[in-house]
């Protein structure tokens, strides 16, 4: 039994040292344009969700989801987020395939995460993804407004949808259902 346990410990240590050596000798690909293996995508996604679940405080949005706050959130998104996450005229980001991991195209594939999860990602950023910590650039109110907007993309009030159509020439109701057919649903693990 003693040798069995020793064998398990030695195997774990050797695997850990091998992983460090592979990383240190530059044997891991670093191209942001390369498609990662499925296991890497799955491990990274699960690690991100587990970290969010562990570290993100379960806070409620202190701002009401008024039409004006949602329109303000839409404008914050357009000015700060659309370059990576897709524009409000339903065009994918030019950077969609230029980053690793690719940023979710939020307008075409709305997120299903709770507000506290979205807010934490916006406020603190997501390490190794290119997602910045917006707490360094946006006010607390603006972060909550964009959080409210993103969490309600599929159920915006009529006045907000009308504003969206007036400013961007299209609206969510015109595209409802076709986004998932074109891009596939963005997977989340809550």
Residue 88 in any domain: the answer is yes
Residue 188 in any domain: the answer is no
Residue 190 in any domain: the answer is no
pLDDT at 185: 42
Q: How many domains does the chain have?
A: 2
Residue 130 in any domain: the answer is yes
pTM, to two decimals: 0.79
Residue 70 in any domain: the answer is yes
Residues 86 and 47 grouped into a single domain = yes
Residue 124 in any domain: the answer is yes
Residues 53 and 146 grouped into a single domain = yes
Residues 98 and 162 grouped into a single domain = yes
Residue 82 in any domain: the answer is yes
Residues 5 and 41 grouped into a single domain = no
Of the candidates 39, 66, 59, the residue with the CA atom closest to the CA atom of residue 152: 66
Lowest mean pLDDT of 35-39, 93-97, 113-117, name the range: 35-39
Residues 74 and 159 grouped into a single domain = yes
Residue 44 in any domain: the answer is yes
pLDDT at 178: 57
Count other Cβ atoms within 10 Å, centred on residue 124: 16
Residues 62 and 4 grouped into a single domain = no
- 1 is in which domain, residue-wise? 1-30
The model's pLDDT over 62-113, given as tens digits with 9 standing for 90+, comes to 999 999 999 999 999 999 999 999 999 998 898 888 888 889 999 999 999 9
To the nearest whole number, what is the mean pLDDT of the chain?
87
Residues 82 and 120 grouped into a single domain = yes
pLDDT at 2: 87
147 pLDDT band, cuts 50/70/90, is very high
Buried-exposed string 4-29: b where 16+ CB fall within 10 A, e elsewhere: eeeeeeeeeeeeeeeeeeeeeeeeee
Residues 177 and 98 grouped into a single domain = yes
pLDDT at 177: 60
pLDDT at 44: 84
pLDDT at 19: 80
Residues 15 and 63 grouped into a single domain = no
pLDDT at 162: 95
Lowest mean pLDDT of 49-63, 95-109, 172-186, name the range: 172-186
Residue range 26-41: mean pLDDT, rounded? 78
């Amino acid at each position: 039994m003693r040798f069995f346990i020793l064998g398990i410990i030695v195997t774990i240590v050797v695997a850990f040292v091998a992983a460090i050596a592979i990383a240190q000798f530059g044997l891991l690909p670093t191209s942001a344009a390369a498609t990662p293996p499925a296991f890497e995508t799955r491990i990274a996604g699960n690690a991100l969700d587990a970290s969010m679940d562990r570290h993100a405080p379960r806070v409620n949005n202190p701002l009401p989801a008024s039409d004006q706050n949602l329109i303000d959130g839409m404008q914050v998104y357009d000015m700060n987020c659309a370059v990576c996450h897709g524009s409000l005229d339903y065009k994918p980001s030019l950077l969609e395939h230029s980053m690793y991991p690719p940023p979710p195209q939020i307008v075409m594939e709305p997120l299903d995460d709770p507000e506290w999860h979205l807010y934490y990602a916006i406020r603190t950023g997501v390490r190794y993804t290119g997602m910045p910590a917006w707490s360094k650039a946006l006010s607390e109110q603006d972060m909550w407004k964009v959080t409210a907007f993103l969490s309600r993309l599929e159920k915006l009030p009529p006045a907000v949808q009308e504003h969206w159509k007036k400013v961007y020439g299209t609206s969510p109701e015109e595209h409802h259902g076709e986004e998932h057919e074109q891009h596939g649903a963005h997977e989340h693990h809550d």
